Structure 1
């Protein structure tokens, strides 16, 4: 038995857009996110990322594209508990073969960008949930990705801290980073300039709006 999670979806997202991908559980949004993030392959059709059809890339080529073109931010942070914040941010750069000195410089730069340079030597257990998510954003930015893919990025945060993280995404978008927020929360979708709603494996609606700005 074959289950068709997505049914002929045709979506184009331009460089620099901030998009919310929304839908209830079982809608297909998670499958679409996994395809966008090169974590899964579509069984039919094509996916063009930065002008290149990535559908038929080998596993090694897909891994390289993930590491260079896409930054991931997850609800659960996924920080390594025995590494300090600086070392956590350096992890994807290590996999990318970036030399140690450059790695350290780039990691410090993005920690500075998210306001955590002074905590670079702290362990994840020594910082708050909001700060952990900022480290996760810094780690995603370390490789200078074309696309930032955030899956329920405020799911483990209180309202105030969630607003601070969304303000950071808004700043990154204003600087030209493409941001895709995967969420079921209307409050988070409100920060996007475009909302793509998925239901039963199809795009139910694709609308533009004036995005909310976090008041900090």
Structure 2
């Protein structure tokens, strides 16, 4: 080329590639994402090794709790308020008196002692039956049942508050006194149930 298009001087124009802003934006976004994931992972590891759950449990510890007592246990009568008729439905002699004497030592009042009626005589295969009026089902019978835990509980239409302990063929002895006293204490002591306010 020549003429008026001749290039003069010692400076030449440099041809630069156009800058790609899209690639730069992508690199920035990718870097931010990587940093975010790394930070999140670090926090998770910190929670694992420092016991993050303990902190949340400590926060719940600040919530006030109250205890609510069960009023039903207080309505149960004491052994000294229960009259027990001890009846023997087995062929073994003297069992009713022996059992009645032991119940008396444990604080129960003893009523009739003797053989069971024909309705039950030699017809009870288990350890025994605790029999009383309908009102005794949730009062006297549970207390007496602590002395013979395996006995069956029944009610009838009798008048009065006396209850029967009818000894069956499977009877060996009353519940050990220590175990019976423990069961009686658990039965007659009101149980407290903790309650927590909502939102804690």
- Fold match (TM-score > 0.5): no
| Alignment TM class, shorter chain as reference | under 0.3
**Rg (Cα) greater in structure:** 2
Scaled by the length of structure 1, the TM-score of the pair is 0.19
Scaled by the length of structure 2, the TM-score of the pair is 0.20
